[in-house]
Amino acid sequence: MTDWFDKQKNLWRDWRTFLLFIAIMLVFRSAIADWNQVPSGSMKPSILVGDRIVVDKLAYDLRIPFTLHRIARWAEPERGDVVTFPSPADERLLVKRIIGLPGDVVELRNNQLIVNGERATYTELSAEEISRIQLPNKRGYRFVRESQGGVSYFVMFRRGFHARPYQSFAPVTVPDHHFLMLGDNRDDSSDYRVIGWVERERILGRAKTIAFSLNYDNYYAPRMNRFFEPL
């Protein structure tokens, strides 16, 4: 029996530094900052499949690690923020853009966004801007700058994608303590139109930067021009 205890003590002495490091990293990634792989194209052209994004989990509040319970709160998510959250539908980690704040009246009419009666404006991207977007078959899409409520960002639409219910929804009022999320790839995103409202408590942090990017369609070659690109 003594030999068994001695072996356990030796094992702990040999591995304690490594185990402590792992524990600290898990707490860090849960409550302070994380880097998430993007497996889908719902946020194209802003975020591409293969991007690894850095998420600031102290952007709005401090959580108890590994929970959704807040210890302190110092800011609220704003319109246009790109945030991560577990899906209300199946708990998968998602990344989307905040479009509607609590109390906002939001409508989508043939892919035109209307918030509190104000229509978003759309400006076609220049040929130079489109050339910097690393996507195949760009001819099948429109790339525009959507501006709403003092913020602007790139979105994309499929060409010839007319008269689909997914492109429209009637005016809705965002409930208290909830947000309306949409993907920048408007015709291919499981966002509000699929998962519904997102509770404030579910928002884990704000995506700030692309740490690095790999092109899955080109033998995982690095996209060097996307390294450390701000969102």
Can you list the alpha helix ranges (DSSP code H) found in 105-160? 127-131
In-domain check, residue 16: no
- What is the Cα–Cα distance from 85 to 73, expressed in whole angstroms? 17
Query: If pLDDT is split at 50, 70 and 90, which confidence band does 36 have?
Result: confident
In-domain check, residue 25: no
- What is the Cα–Cα distance from 1 to 137, expressed in whole angstroms? 68
pLDDT in tens, 176-188: 999 999 999 999 9
In-domain check, residue 93: yes
- What is the Cα–Cα distance from 132 to 130, expressed in whole angstroms? 5
Q: Give me the pLDDT at residue 206, please.
A: 96
- Domain span including residue 108: 32-230
Q: Pick from 22, 25, 41, 21: which is nearest to 33 by CA? A: 25
The SS3 of residue 99 is strand
End-to-end CA distance of the chain: 58
91: domain CATH number? 2.10.109.10
Q: Give me the pLDDT at residue 83, please.
A: 97
In-domain check, residue 14: no
Q: Is the predicted pLDDT of residue 18 greater than 80, yes or no? A: no
Percent of the chain with pLDDT over 90: 64
In the chain, the number of structural domains is 1
What residues form DSSP beta bridges with 143?
156
- What is the Cα–Cα distance from 186 to 44, expressed in whole angstroms? 9
Q: Give me the pLDDT at residue 40, please.
A: 86
Q: Is the predicted pLDDT of residue 106 greater than 70, yes or no? A: yes
In the chain, what is the greatest distance between 2 CA atoms, to the nearest angstrom?
77
Query: If pLDDT is split at 50, 70 and 90, which confidence band does 163 have?
Result: very low
Query: If pLDDT is split at 50, 70 and 90, which confidence band does 3 have?
Result: low
In-domain check, residue 212: yes
Yes or no: say if 210 and 38 are a contact pair by the CB < 8 Å rule: no
In-domain check, residue 13: no
Looking at every residue in the chain, the average pLDDT score rounds to: 88
- What is the Cα–Cα distance from 176 to 228, expressed in whole angstroms? 35
In-domain check, residue 174: yes
User: Does the bond joining 45 to the residue before it have cis omega, within 30 degrees of 0?
Assistant: yes
In-domain check, residue 167: yes
